[in-house]
Structure formats: structure tokens, C-alpha cells
Amino acid sequence: MRILGIESSCDETAVALYDGDVDSGHGKLLAERIASQIAIHARFGGVVPEVASREHLKVLPMLVKEVLQDAQSAWQDVDAIAVTAGPGLMGALLVGTSYARAAGLVNKIPVFPIHHMEGHLLAAGLSHELPEFPFITLLVSGGHTMLVRVDAVGDYSIIGQTLDDAAGECFDKSARVLDLPYPGGPEISRCAVGGNAKRFKLPRPMLQHDHLHFSFSGLKTAVMYAIRDVGEVTPKIRQDMAACMEAAVGDVLVKKSLRACQQQGVPRLLMAGGVAANRYVRDLLEKEAHQQGVSVTLPNHDYCTDNAAMIAFAAFKRFQYDLMTDQAWDAQPRWSLTDLKSD
């Protein structure tokens, strides 16, 4: 079946066409397009919701046209439309979901809501075999940081989450202190190369506690105070602080994830979401997991951050496990992964 995926929950407008066979579980991505709004929001230092919605509205129809063209397909070849229905910015979600509903109505194609974080969680399946169930997922994006026990597609239990800022948000806010542009994660990652990761003493919040929760707001504050104490942000200070930041965030994420595997007796770990694009964290996770006999699955770099291939693929997985229903639905800016469990 051919599934057209649409993603517009934040600052990327994305469309993808995935072709999968639900009986064998195999499939492939036929075409995709991503229009990033980063350059538009960068001058504001973060995403401006109203601006994001207007941009989605402007580019979405064109992206759909291009994806269908690239895949040498027409609307009549599309069997289902899968659209991100939440969580995310309400206005941005409404653009994607309204477009999807209208296209579905006109072309007589069923439209299904997809949970953005389920898209991230399953994205590794676009390029790798997903681990055998159950497995633990470290989901780290700009808005979420959580540890999820995955017992099946759609059966997610949150076993740890951040009590304040998300890891991506901590990167973004710390980057601002270092005069680096938005989004801060990739900038810090680039800047950290060759930096002295021992120069500044940054805390490893919550690491001493046995529980699986996170807290990153203190780390951001520690970066702020350390920079205030040194005065001027020279290129060398920026580089060293970026390396220290990455080391602190990486340490907490990796150790907590491996603790989750140990506590749950599940030696399979998957990492997903925008922060999973971070080279340092990926390498650290692979190294430490290997030492503890835990297998690690990572999405390809390009499928860590927001994209529509993961939305079409999540829909494909839900079809494969017979989880798609024709229940009424609405865009939901706040939506927990645990709500996806069908009892």
C-alpha cells in the first residue's frame, strides 16, 4: 500500500510517500521533501508559532505535488494519508491536518492521525530492523525527553521523563548563552569538536538518583553562570563550553538509558528524536551499551530530526499490526504516547 505522510507539527514542513506490503512487513520510501523554516525563525531565536503556520500553508501543497511527481504517482495511487495530529503547535498542526482531510475528501482517500513521537520512535525502522519487543527507547527531541518501554507497536509505557526542560531545549537555550544561532543542538555539536570537555565543571542532574527521570534546567543555568563568571565569550570558551555541555547531556542520557535497560531486564535500546542526530551522544551510547551487553539501534542521521518519512512509516507499522481505526479524531497539541494503547 502507498501511504502519503504529512508532517507540520513545528518548524519543518515535510511530505513523503512510502510503499509497504503489510503481509511481509517490508517496504520502501518512494520520495520525500522537507522544507525547513530554520532560516525564517533563526532571527527570532526560536520558533514563532504564527509564522510557522503561515509557512506550512504556503509550501505544503507544492511539496505534495513534488513528492507525487518524484514517485511518478498520482492521487489515485495513494491508499492512505497519514498526518501528524500532535503533539505540536496547534496552528501548525491544523494546517497539516486540514490539508490532509481536504485532500482525502476530494480524492476519496482515508486519512489517519499519527502521533509525532511515535513517528520518531519508529523512524529507525526506515533503515534498520527494529529491535525485538520489548525494548527501551530514549526519545529526545526539542520538546520531549523520555524513556519508553515498548512492548509492541502502540504499546508504550513511559518509565522516565524530564521534570522540566527537554534535552534539545537545554541545547537550544545554552546555545543562546554562547551566542550561537537557533537551533542550538547542531550548532553546539559542530562547535564542540576539538573542545576541552573538562574545562568547566557542569552538573549531571539526577544521575545520582536511582529513578529514571531527567532534569535539564539546572544544567542550562550552570552554563549561564559559568559564562557570566568568565565574562567574554571567546571562540575558545565557546568551543570548550560546547564540549562540556555535550559531555554533560550525553553522560546523563546514556547512563539513565542503560539504567532503564538494567532495571527493566531488557538489553535492547533504541534512541530517537532530534538529539539522536548528535554524533557524540550516538558514539557514547554505542560504546557504553556495548560494554554492558546492550544492543543499540539508531535511526539514520537524517531521520532523527523532523521528517514525514517517519510519519508514513509509523502509519505503515500501525496498518501492519491492525491498529488503524476509523475513529473520529482531532489535532491535539498535547497528546501522550501512552494514550495510544488500545485496551
- Give me the 96-135 binding string for Zn ion, x by CB under 5 A, dash otherwise: ----------------------------------------
10 binding ligand KG4? (CB under 6 A): yes
* Member of 78, 275, 285, 289 binding ligand KG4 (CB under 6 A): 275
Which residue number, 187 or 306, has a Cβ lying nearer to Zn ion? 306
Is the CB of 84 or the CB of 239 nearer to Zn ion? 84
Residues in 74-103 that interact with ligand KG4 by CB under 6 A: none
* Measured distance CA(51)–CA(54) in Å, rounded: 5
Residues in the interface with ligand KG4 (CB under 6 A) total 21
Question: Is residue 141 near Zn ion by the rule CB under 5 A?
Answer: yes
27 belongs to the binding site for ligand KG4 (CB under 6 A): no
CA 224 vs CA 176, 184, 316, 321: distances in Å? 10, 14, 44, 47
The span from the CA of 105 to the CA of 80, in Å, is: 12
Q: Does 306 bind Zn ion (CB under 5 A)?
A: yes
Of residues 134-153, those binding ligand KG4 (CB under 6 A): 141-143
Instruction: Classify residue 234 by burial, with Cβ atoms within 10 Å: 0-12, 13-18, 19+.
Output: exposed
For ligand KG4, the closer of residues 25 and 181 by Cβ is 181
Quote the CA–CA distance of 146 and 124 in Å, as a whole number. Answer: 17
Place of cell 555541555: 245
Edge-to-edge strands of the sheet including 80-86? 26-36, 12-21, 2-7, 80-86, 111-115
197's torsion region: left (phi>0), alpha (psi -120 to 50) or beta? alpha
Contact call for residue 20 and ligand KG4 (CB under 6 A): no
* CA pair distance 102, 96, nearest whole angstrom: 10
The one among 20, 27, 274, 299 contacting ligand KG4 by CB under 6 A: 274
- Chain positions 150 to 189 lying near ligand KG4, rule: CB under 6 A, are 168-169, 171-172, 183-186, 189
Tell me how far apart the alpha carbons of residues 273 and 186 are, in angstroms, rounded to a whole number: 13
Residue 70, C-alpha cell as written in the block = 518524484
Q: Which does 186 bind (CB under 5 to 8 A by kind): Zn ion, ligand KG4, none?
A: ligand KG4
Partner touching 168 among ligand KG4, Zn ion, none, CB below 5 to 8 Å by kind = ligand KG4
185 versus 205: smaller Cβ distance to ligand KG4:
185
Least spacing, CB of residue 24 vs ligand KG4, in Å: 29
Select from 102-110, 256-264, 289-297, 301-309 the region that touches Zn ion (CB under 5 A): 301-309
Helices 217-230 + 235-264 axis angle, to 10: 160
**Minimum Å distance from CB 25 to ligand KG4?**
25
CA 58 from centroid of its chain's CA atoms? 24
Grid coordinates representing 146 are: 523520555
Is residue 109 within 8 Å of residue 79, measured between CB atoms?
yes
Which residue is listed with cell 535500546? Answer: 269
What phi-psi label fits residue 204: left (phi over 0), alpha (psi between -120 and 50 degrees) or beta?
beta
Decide: is 189 part of the binding site for Zn ion (CB under 5 A): no
Which lies closer to ligand KG4 via its Cβ, residue 131 or residue 250?
250
Span 296-335, contacts to ligand KG4 by CB under 6 A: 305-306
The total number of residues written for the chain in this structure: 343
Residues lying near Zn ion in the complex (CB under 5 A) = 141, 306
Residues lying near ligand KG4 in the complex (CB under 6 A) = 10, 120, 141-143, 168-169, 171-172, 183-186, 189, 273-275, 277-278, 305-306
